[in-house]
Structure 1
Amino acid sequence: MKAYHTRAAIAITALALPLAAAFAQSGDGGFTVAETGRSYASLQAAVDAVGNTRATIRIAPGNYRQCAVQEAGVIVYEAAEPGTVTLAGRACEGKAALVLRGTGAEIRGLTFTGISVPDGNGAGIRLEAGSLNVAYARFENSEQGILSAADPAMRVYITRSTFSGLGTCENSAGCAHSLYIGDIGALTVRESRFERGTGGHYLKARATEVTIEGNSFDDANGRTTNYMIDLPAGSRGRIADNWFVQGRDKENYSAFIALGAEDILHPSDGLQVVNNEARFVPGLKRNSVFLADWTGERVVMQGNRLAAGLKQYEAR
């Protein structure tokens, strides 16, 4: 067994050497623009160097107390080694670690942690313009994971990411949520995990169309949380193949999913809520509703596996 571990360590070291050498040769900083090979000491300097073009900023392993504002272009923010890059504790413009208002952005393998601001809306990402793709990212122990503006042209796609220890309703700006998406064209969230919420909803979105598939919403260790999914303006699309568990410490346990609870901006006719599994933490007995609906429109519900005490649908 020791020989195996030794060989594995040698192999890993050998693989890591070319990567380390590449960064040593690229310049004096951990933020490298892949297309030019130039590196920068700060993330903002790398973003400014990209300007109104399309480029990838590859980030060396490390814990960075930095933030950046993207004003133009299409930028991929990529960890050179997924899971080894953290943007911690710094928010630009009193908003987020990354404030995005270019043409588009993609996040690959980054962790955002410890983001808080005076108004209580500190986020890993604040999307103000353009479209956004997120993959293999972690958002943790902050007031909010991702917060977006309202723009029908926006598209947000999130996959294989984790939202943990997020949300609050204790500040003047109202509630912050693990994921808070405004009135945009479309939101897709797939194969991601929401857990350990600290207030607000796990996923709140006013998007015209939603695709929420194959995710886990684990509220077992949540504190003063509300809905798992809140679509307050109405939405079409599909909520399918997700796993939900509701915890004990809830500010509002009356429903797992809420549809149309605020001003209704979009039709919900034909929304599919199918093949999900929902239950309470072990030992907890209470009554709740899987989908609470304020729209009165036709919602397709089938194949959902619900625990005792959980009503499938309720018009409100």
Structure 2
Amino acid sequence: MLQVGAGKTYSVPSAAAAAAQSGDVIKISAGDYRGDVASWNASNLTICGVGGRARLFADGKNAQGKGIWVVSGSNITIDSMEFHNATVPDENGAGIRAQNGGYLRIINSGFFNNQNGILSNAGSSTINIERSEFARNGLGDGYTHNIYIGQIDKLTVSASYFHEAKIGHNLKSRARESVIENSYFMDGPTGTSSYLADFPNGGKVVLKGNMFHKGPNADNSNAIAYGLEGLSNPTNTLDVIHNTVAVTRSGGAFFAIASGTSSVKFTANIFAGTGNQSLVTGFSVGNVAQASNVTSSASNIPGATNIASPNFWPNATLQALIGLSTVPDATYTRDAPAPYTLRTISGARKVGALQSAP
């Protein structure tokens, strides 16, 4: 075990990175580490904050011209870390530049005001993100994002929070398979993101139990995009299950989907807009397999735009429409370990997110 912090064997994370060997556990004391950047080359590492999150501020420094941390080893777990203000001359600096094979797991971590939150190479690898936050990342050029995943084998995101990407996307994934569950994507009243989620090369994509808000100042009128840069993955299917999608920007579509997509299924979702959105553009809506979806006004999701205390639960009008009239309303909460509290309902699960059957 390698210990990092004041009075420990290593005073800064970069010193531990230089010493790390395969199988090591690196424990970094909570606190601020300024201008310390690192390359992690060993494999089979667990790197974790202790006593709270360890916060890394780039302060104009970078590792290998790529970001705060460059992760090249395989099978790495990063827990309870924060990455702030990564910049590089190439204008694609990342909190974490993931160029490893194997498995990378990010838990309970935060990425704030970087040119990219996470930027990954393409290759044979898997990235798993849990209970983490990505906020205000992006240079504002449309090429940098809250998170940008290359064409890897699989991306899995659960119980995580993406908001206010600067012109770029809140999530962009070229992975051959992307599974995004129980997470929260928001522009809020002032956010300027392009897509809330973008899967430019298609792939096997599952969106389940998420909340999406497209704001009035968003750069792009379409909320979620699929396959618009070419369906280059071996499997190209989109399954959208138990999500709530609220759009308060005028025009556009809830989904922009490439016409050649093999299969599109929408099941038990709420689509709430301003009244002039189409459900789908690019792909024939008649070819979407739909079951138990509800389309309504965004005004029936009254607290969706409030980042400080958001509430995606339908109001009484929409509750009655979807059979939730006996469920008491309550404010949305973002608490550990998940970013919100699911509500237990009687009987079968109804449409939309934020609920579980007993």
Matched, 1:136 2:101: no
8 A contact 2:126–2:153 mirrored in 1 = yes
Q: CA offset at residue 126 of structure 1? A: 0.2
> Identity of counterpart residues, as a percentage?
32
> What amino acid does structure 1 have at the position aligned with 2:25?
T
Q: CA offset at residue 113 of structure 1? A: 0.8
Counterpart of 1:258 in structure 2 is 225
Number of aligned residue pairs: 276
Matched, 1:296 2:261: yes
Change (3 A) 1:243 1:155: same
8 A contact 2:55–2:84 mirrored in 1 = yes
Greater fraction of residues in helix: 1
Q: CA offset at residue 272 of structure 1? A: 0.8
Counterpart of 1:107 in structure 2 is 78
8 A contact 1:196–1:221 mirrored in 2 = no
Q: CA offset at residue 269 of structure 1? A: 4.3
Matched, 1:44 2:44: no
Tell me, in whole angstroms, the C-alpha distance in 2 between the residues paired with 1:31 and 1:241. Answer: 42
Counterpart of 2:334 in structure 1 is none
Matched, 1:273 2:253: no
**Which deviations, in whole Å up to 9, do the C-alpha atoms of 1:197-221 show, x marking residues without a partner?**
2121111011001100111111014
Counterpart of 2:308 in structure 1 is none
> What amino acid does structure 2 have at the position aligned with 1:95?
K
Tell me, in whole angstroms, the C-alpha distance in 1 between the residues paired with 2:117 and 2:226. Answer: 22
Counterpart of 1:147 in structure 2 is 119
| Residue pairs, 1:121-132, within 5 angstroms | 121-130=92-101, 131-132=103-104
> What amino acid does structure 1 have at the position aligned with 2:32?
N
Decide which of 80, 88, 113 is 1:117's aligned counterpart.
Answer: 88
> What amino acid does structure 2 have at the position aligned with 1:293?
I
Counterpart of 1:232 in structure 2 is 200
Q: CA offset at residue 44 of structure 1? A: 2.2
8 A contact 1:198–1:222 mirrored in 2 = no
Tell me, in whole angstroms, the C-alpha distance in 1 between the residues paired with 2:171 and 2:189. Answer: 16
8 A contact 1:214–1:242 mirrored in 2 = yes
Q: CA offset at residue 45 of structure 1? A: 2.0
RMSD, matched Cα: 2.1
| Structure 2 unmatched runs, 5+ | 284-358
| Structure 1 unmatched runs, 5+ | 1-25, 33-37
> What amino acid does structure 1 have at the position aligned with 2:262?
E
Change (3 A) 1:222 1:230: farther
Q: CA offset at residue 223 of structure 1? A: 4.0
Change (3 A) 1:45 1:243: same
> What amino acid does structure 2 have at the position aligned with 1:279?
A
Decide which of 209, 213, 225 is 1:241's aligned counterpart.
Answer: 209
Greater fraction of residues in strand: 1
TM-score, length-scaled by structure 1 = 0.82
Tell me, in whole angstroms, the C-alpha distance in 2 between the residues paired with 1:212 and 1:48. Answer: 34
Decide which of 23, 26, 39 is 1:57's aligned counterpart.
Answer: 26
Q: CA offset at residue 262 of structure 1? A: 0.7
Tell me, in whole angstroms, the C-alpha distance in 1 between the residues paired with 2:190 and 2:164. Answer: 4
Matched, 1:209 2:177: yes
Decide which of 52, 61, 67 is 2:37's aligned counterpart.
Answer: 67
8 A contact 2:74–2:104 mirrored in 1 = no
Tell me, in whole angstroms, the C-alpha distance in 2 between the residues paired with 1:196 and 1:223. Answer: 5
Name the SS of the counterpart of 1:212 in structure 2. Answer: strand
| Residue pairs, 1:152-231, within 5 angstroms | 153-170=124-141, 175-231=143-199
8 A contact 2:153–2:175 mirrored in 1 = yes
**Which deviations, in whole Å up to 9, do the C-alpha atoms of 1:159-189 show, x marking residues without a partner?**
110001111343xxx6111010000000001
Change (3 A) 1:261 1:74: same
Q: CA offset at residue 315 of structure 1? A: 2.3
Decide which of 48, 73, 80 is 2:50's aligned counterpart.
Answer: 80
Q: CA offset at residue 49 of structure 1? A: 1.7
Runs of 4+ in structure 1 deviating by more than 3 angstroms, as ranges, are 221-224, 267-270
> What amino acid does structure 2 have at the position aligned with 1:107?
I
**Which deviations, in whole Å up to 9, do the C-alpha atoms of 1:65-109 show, x marking residues without a partner?**
2111012222211000233x1000232112111101112211111
Moved more, 63-72 or 40-49: 40-49
